[in-house]
């Protein structure tokens, strides 16, 4: 019975993932520029499902979380449910013994695992043309820090896709695609 329920949940989640429109994802992230003005990685207890930290602040993952929530995909709920059912497949670097619905979806390695488990992982490339608007990219910033952002529909003067992200000064749209080593590239399949 539990297995059948988990299979049904996976199918429903797959339908939700397939319904994400890249242009709307970009627009949802862009709406945060000038609104999310700071970076605050503090642990907070938040509502579940649909919980969020104050819109004026957040971390890089919050840009992705908020943009997806506008299209009906609640990463807090999706990641928590997948972690509860498949905890052993997720990173253990925080020493947790069980999922924490307040923070798990706000951690880049957990999102990388969830995206990969949804079949969204693409080949990592150093070619700007391989990155499309609405793609999600993760980077290794060094010293154990990771970062995540959404590929914009606007290019830089050099033709490189801009990235919508929050790396410390609020949500911005900048040319950083190849500034750090890319460690993940993910794409929602348009419906």
Give yes or no for residue 13 having a pLDDT over 80: no
Reduced to 3 states, what is the DSSP secondary structure of residue 21?
A: coil
Residue 121 φ/ψ, nearest 5 degrees: -70, 135
Half-sphere exposure (Cβ direction) of 103: Cα atoms closer than 13 Å:
11
CA dist., res. 163 & res. 136, Å (int): 9
Residue 189: predicted pLDDT: 83
CA dist., res. 58 & res. 180, Å (int): 21
Q: Within 10 Å of residue 28's Cβ, how many Cβ atoms?
A: 22
Residue 174 φ/ψ, nearest 5 degrees: -140, 165
- Reported as a single tens digit per residue, the pLDDT across 64-117 is 999 999 999 999 999 999 999 999 999 999 998 999 999 999 999 999 999 999
Query: Domain range spanning residue 114?
Result: 1-191
State the DSSP H helix or E strand holding residue 146, giving kind and residue range, or none if neither.
Answer: strand 145-155
- What's this model's pTM, rounded to 2 decimal places? 0.91
Give yes or no for residue 15 having a pLDDT over 80: no
Averaged pLDDT, 131-156? 98
Interior CA angle at 168 toward 162 and 169, to 5°? 80
Tokens (6 digits) for 1: 């019975």
**Which CATH number covers residue 184?**
3.90.1720.10
CA dist., res. 140 & res. 161, Å (int): 18
Instruction: State the total domains in the chain.
Output: 1
Max Cα–Cα distance, the chain, nearest Å: 55
């Amino acid at each position: 019975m539990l297995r059948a329920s988990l299979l049904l949940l996976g199918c429903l989640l797959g339908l939700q993932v397939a319904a994400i429109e890249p242009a709307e994802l970009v627009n949802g992230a862009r709406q945060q520029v000038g609104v999310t003005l700071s970076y605050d990685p503090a642990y907070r207890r938040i509502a579940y499902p649909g919980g969020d930290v104050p819109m004026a602040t957040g971390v890089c993952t919050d840009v992705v979380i908020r943009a997806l929530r506008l299209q009906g995909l609640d990463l807090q709920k999706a990641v928590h449910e997948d972690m509860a059912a498949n905890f052993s497949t997720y990173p253990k670097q925080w020493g947790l013994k069980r999922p924490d619905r307040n923070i798990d979806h706000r951690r880049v390695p957990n999102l990388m695992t969830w995206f990969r488990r949804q079949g969204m992982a693409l080949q990592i490339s150093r070619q700007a043309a391989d990155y499309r608007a609405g793609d999600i990219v993760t980077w290794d910033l060094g010293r154990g820090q990771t970062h995540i952002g959404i590929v914009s529909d606007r290019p830089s003067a050099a033709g490189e896709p801009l990235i919508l992200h929050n790396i410390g000064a609020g949500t911005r749209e900048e040319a950083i695609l190849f500034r750090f080593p890319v460690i993940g590239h993910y794409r929602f399949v348009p419906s």
